[in-house]
Amino acid sequence: MGTSPSSFELLFLADTHLGFDLPVRPRIERRRRGLDFLSNFQRVLNAAVEQQVDLVLHGGDLFFRSKIPGSIVDMVYGKLLEFADHGIPLVIVPGNHERSRLPTSLFLQHPNIHVFDAPKTLEFGIGGARVALGGFPSVRRNVRADFGELVGATGLDDAEADIRLLCMHQTVEGASVGPTGYTFRGGHDVIRRRDLPTSCDAILTGHIHRHQIMEIERDGSRPMPVVYPGSTERTSFAEAEETKGYCHLVFEPSSEDEWGLARTAFVPLPARPMVTVEIPGELPPAGVTRFLSGVARDVPADAIVRFTSSGDVSPALRRELRAARLAECLPPTVNVQFSSGFFARGRRRSTR
């Protein structure tokens, strides 16, 4: 596998959040965003098979929460099993949404499926290189204090390898998120840049949903990349302007026969447009149908629409914004949500 006997190719994805908006017994028949998440996940697996890469790494939050209906777990694991049968190793880091452990299943016993259920190092002979992946499940409390001990417990430095990769699901100092570009600097859940092991050829991590690559300077050697592939779908309106995708990494030996990251490609995935629509506080209940018809005309047919309001919304207007009216006025291909606290605005406190 790989483009030549002297290269190692890896597809890196993370934060797929499978199971989101995918109820087993939906009370309302409507388009579900969960199918978008599943489709992009399958696109990455298909690309790995088509391109015959050497290994696939999932950087955590395979599922969107720890308690997932068994039928959805089986469906997702069935996809993993089908992929693993192609002979490509798949490595998974349990994320914080899974509470640092994947749901148990016999499907995970496939010889090509590997899970960092504890700090350890996985070793592979691939593409003419000895590849060592060290990793540990997501640490949700005080990773800053425990990070050095966790890395040591993996045994990554002791592995005889041409390529060393640290795999995790954590926040690294300098990572940025959100529409304002908030940058993480301190805190018990943020790993300091100076604490990162510079013996690695790259650090591959999930958890931050924006794709980015940070470079850590090393004495007498090329900078060490810290790679976030970002999430494969937009999980909130804070990510409305972000392109989603995964990373294709190629490692090759240099002229000194030392291996390193030679090429990195970010591969975009389809993401539906997210549109925020403000409902005027003075909108009369009788005008809701006309207002929603205008929204249907103006937004893309496959949009995810978030309704918000800067003013108080009267009880009568809230009643007009019921699911049946939305379904009547908006295309079935549109998903609708309301901003946090929308239906709480304008409510009078009980005097009883």
Structure confidence by residue, pLDDT tens digits, 204-248: 999 999 999 999 998 878 899 999 999 999 999 999 999 999 999
Indicate if 264 and 285 belong to the same structural domain.
no
- DSSP states along 157-221: GGS--SEEEEEEE-EETT-EETTTTEE---STTEE-GGGS-TTSSEEEEES--S-EEEEEEETTE
Q: What is the three-state SS of 275-312?
A: EEEECCCCCCHHHHHHHHHHHHHHCCCCCEEEEECCCC
CB atoms near residue 29 (< 10 Å): 8
Same domain, 39 and 151: yes
User: What value does the mean pLDDT of the chain take?
Assistant: 92
State whether 217 and 99 are in the same domain.
yes
Mean pLDDT of 1-5: 46
Same domain, 309 and 254: no
Let me know whether 163 and 301 are in one domain. no
Tell me: pLDDT of 29 over 80: no
Evaluate whether residue 42 is within a structural domain: yes
pLDDT grade, residue 302 (50/70/90)? very high
Number of independent structural domains in the chain: 2
Q: Give the end of a domain, one of 268, 291, 314.
A: 268
Residues 201, 297 within the same domain? no
Whether 352 is in a domain gets the answer no
Instruction: Indicate whether 3 belongs to any domain.
Output: no
**pLDDT tens digits, one per residue of 150-189:** 999 999 999 999 999 999 999 999 999 999 999 999 899 9
Tens digit of each residue's pLDDT (9 = 90 or more) over 37-50: 999 999 999 999 99
Please report the pLDDT score of residue 350 as a whole number.
31
Shared domain for 304 and 237, answered yes or no, is: no
Task: Tell which wins on pLDDT, 134 or 32.
Answer: 134
Same domain, residue pair 96 and 167 = yes
If asked whether residues 70 and 204 sit together in one domain, one would say yes
pLDDT tens digits, one per residue of 70-107: 999 999 999 999 999 999 999 999 999 999 999 999 99
The residues, ordered by sequence, that sit 6+ positions from 330 with a Cβ below 8 Å of its Cβ are: 292, 295, 296, 305, 336
Q: What mean pLDDT comes out for the span 288-312?
A: 93
Based on the domain organization, do 245 and 297 belong to the same domain? no
> Residue 289: its pLDDT value, please?
94
Residues 294, 170 within the same domain: no
Whole-structure pTM value: 0.92
Same domain, 195 and 148: yes
Whether pLDDT at 26 is above 80: no
Other C-beta atoms within 10 Å of 292: how many?
A: 22
Indicate the residue among 219, 236, 268 that finishes a domain.
268
Reduced to 3 states (helix: H, G, I; strand: E, B; else coil), residue 126 is strand
> Which residue segment(s) compose the domain that 288 sits in?
274-344
